[in-house]
């Protein structure tokens, strides 16, 4: 998802490190934690890690998918910082032997976004990781996600169907939830009943009923979904399909007049069908219930402030589908590490997609029991752009680099 709107002066690692180090020895844990969270939100960090080591508590921020060291707190001050975070998140500060989950509300931080907190014991002391919830004012429209024009058309047509499933698949941190929320925004209409079932609720949306599951009392996705289907929904967003029971109920709902949006951990579009088979969902339910499947990844964008251009060599031309004879007329970009980009050469991220439209050819292949590999071949023959092709297009346009393409898709 494109981050072009982020101010260019954010993400300056050395300035942030210097500011935090100067304050670490002179301010109390409370103000230090508050400032650290404020800066993390400002630079677009998604996670903050507090990792105990023999030499102290290492604080790291995840920016554009990569972790960066910003501060090391002394062993003397570390317990106070950990206690402050546990108090803020509603954890038991006396319990240090077990993992705990917590939550810091947006009101406590004077921010619009919430923070999920997880703690656990290590051999050097307690570890805490904060997950900063995304800004619910960004990436609300499908056009903002980074889809190619043909992919956007396919997705819009799938969302126009009166019922069926649209699934977003990929590994953790690939932007699946953002995509499903953008789909939900497009379907949000006063004449419809829209319901989300989430763990946790990541974005608060007006005019939509949002439900938080609670595994501690046996109120999981399957139980929530069963109940909601008796409440006349038009559109249901299921935060994640994690088990066979949820997969069966979601597939049935998609066949009985409800639009279902959800996410799944699968490597690519065709692997989604194999996973549903592993869940023992009947082939007819898969073939008739699925409208489309989106596989996606996030790639870092070359820093707009600090970059250089070059001509591709023969191997790069082959990878990108460029005629080697035209190499001298083609300019690619790569980042130059600097203070403007955390010394990575990158700033911001964009998404790449492959979208499998479940048309009559794919439906017939699913019903006949063809493997995921065969389904993928059929989809590609019918014009589906693979993730590699989407990435190559962004490299050719100068949005990202070949090195980043290798890191995300090609590196073993």
Taken in order of first residue, the domains within the chain and their CATH numbers are 13-132 (3.30.450.90), 142-304+307-410 (3.40.50.300)
Across residues 364-369, what is the average pLDDT? 96
User: What is the pLDDT averaged over residues 223-246?
Assistant: 95
Q: Report yes or no: 117 and 104 within 8 Å, Cβ to Cβ.
A: yes
Note the pLDDT of residue 11: 42
Of 351, 174, 170, 158, which Cα lies nearest the Cα of 259?
A: 158
Strands of 47-147, DSSP E: 47-53, 56-63, 66-73, 100-104, 115-122, 125-132
CA distance 299 to 398: 13
For the segment 253-273, the average pLDDT, to the nearest whole number, is 95
Percentage of residues in the chain with pLDDT exceeding 70? 94
- For residues 175 and 298, the answer to whether their CB atoms sit within 8 Å is yes
Contact 350, 301 (CB under 8 A): yes
Q: Give the separation between CA 273 and CA 269, rounded to whole angstroms.
A: 8
- Check whether 111 has a pLDDT greater than 70: no
Structure tokens at 114: 């919430």
Instruction: Return the higher-pLDDT residue of 3 and 302.
Output: 302
At 110, the pLDDT band (50, 70, 90 cuts) reads: low
Please say whether the beta carbons of 315 and 185 come within 8 A: no
pLDDT confidence of residue 3: 45
5-9, 170-174, 184-188: least confidently modelled range:
5-9
Residue-wise pLDDT for 268-290, tens only, equals 999 999 999 999 999 999 999 99
- Identify which has the larger pLDDT, 160 or 200: 160
User: How far is 52 from 74, CA to CA, in rounded Å?
Assistant: 10
pLDDT bin (cut points 50, 70, 90) of residue 148 is very high
CA distances from 66 to 18, 124, 334 (A): 20, 23, 17
pLDDT of residue 20: 80
The confidence score (pLDDT) of residue 412 equals 53
- Report d(CA 270, CA 313) in Å as an integer: 33
Q: How confident is the model at residue 31 (pLDDT cuts 50, 70, 90)?
A: confident
Element holding 11 (H helix, E strand): none
pLDDT at 9 over 60: no
Report how far residue 90's alpha carbon sits from residue 103's, in angstroms, rounded to the nearest whole number: 7
pLDDT of residue 86: 94
Q: Where are the alpha helices (DSSP H) in 188-301?
A: 221-228, 244-255, 269-278, 283-289
Span 180-209, average pLDDT = 92
pLDDT band for 239, please (50, 70, 90 cuts): very high
Measured N-to-C along each axis, helices 29-42 and 78-88 cross at an angle, to the nearest 10 degrees, of 70
324 with 296: CB under 8 angstroms? Answer: no
Nearest 5 degrees, angle CA 204-CA 208-CA 211?
70
């Amino acid at each position: 998802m494109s981050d072009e709107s982020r101010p260019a002066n954010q993400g300056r690692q050395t300035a942030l490190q210097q500011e935090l180090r100067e304050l670490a020895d002179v301010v109390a844990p409370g103000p230090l934690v508050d400032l650290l969270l404020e800066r993390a939100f400002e630079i677009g960090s998604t996670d903050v890690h507090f990792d105990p080591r023999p030499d102290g508590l290492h604080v790291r921020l995840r920016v554009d998918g990569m972790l960066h060291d910003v501060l090391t707190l002394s062993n003397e001050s570390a317990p106070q910082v950990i206690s402050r975070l546990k108090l803020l998140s509603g954890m038991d500060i006396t319990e240090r032997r077990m993992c705990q989950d917590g939550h810091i509300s947006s009101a406590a931080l004077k921010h619009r976004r919430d923070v999920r907190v997880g703690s656990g014991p290590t051999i050097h002391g307690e570890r805490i990781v904060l997950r900063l919830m995304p800004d619910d004012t960004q990436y609300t429209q499908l056009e903002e996600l980074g889809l190619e024009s043909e992919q956007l058309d396919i997705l819009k047509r799938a969302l126009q169907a009166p019922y069926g499933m649209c699934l977003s698949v990929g590994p953790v941190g690939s932007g699946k939830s953002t995509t499903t929320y953008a789909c939900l925004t497009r379907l949000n209409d006063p004449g419809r009943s829209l319901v989300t079932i989430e763990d946790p609720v990541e974005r608060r949306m007006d005019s939509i009923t949002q439900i938080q599951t609670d595994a501690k009392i046996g109120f999981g996705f399957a139980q929530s979904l069963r109940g909601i289907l008796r409440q006349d929904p038009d559109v249901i967003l299921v935060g994640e399909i994690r088990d066979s029971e949820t997969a069966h109920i979601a597939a049935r709902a998609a066949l009985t007049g409800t639009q279902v949006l959800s996410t799944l951990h699968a490597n690519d579009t065709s692997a989604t069908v194999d996973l549903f088979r592993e869940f023992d969902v009947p082939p007819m339910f898969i073939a008739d219930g699925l409208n489309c499947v989106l596989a996606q990844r996030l790639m870092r964008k070359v820093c707009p402030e600090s970059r250089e251009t070059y001509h591709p060599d023969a191997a790069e031309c082959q990878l990108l589908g460029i005629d080697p004879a035209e190499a001298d007329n083609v300019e690619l970009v790569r980042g130059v590490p600097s203070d403007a980009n955390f010394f990575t050469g990158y700033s911001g991220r964009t998404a790449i997609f492959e979208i499998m439209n479940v048309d009559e050819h794919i439906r017939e292949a699913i019903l006949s029991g063809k493997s995921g590999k065969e389904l993928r071949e059929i989809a590609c023959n019918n014009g589906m752009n693979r993730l590699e092709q989407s990435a190559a297009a962004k490299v050719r346009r100068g949005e990202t680099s070949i090195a980043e393409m290798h890191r995300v898709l090609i590196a073993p």
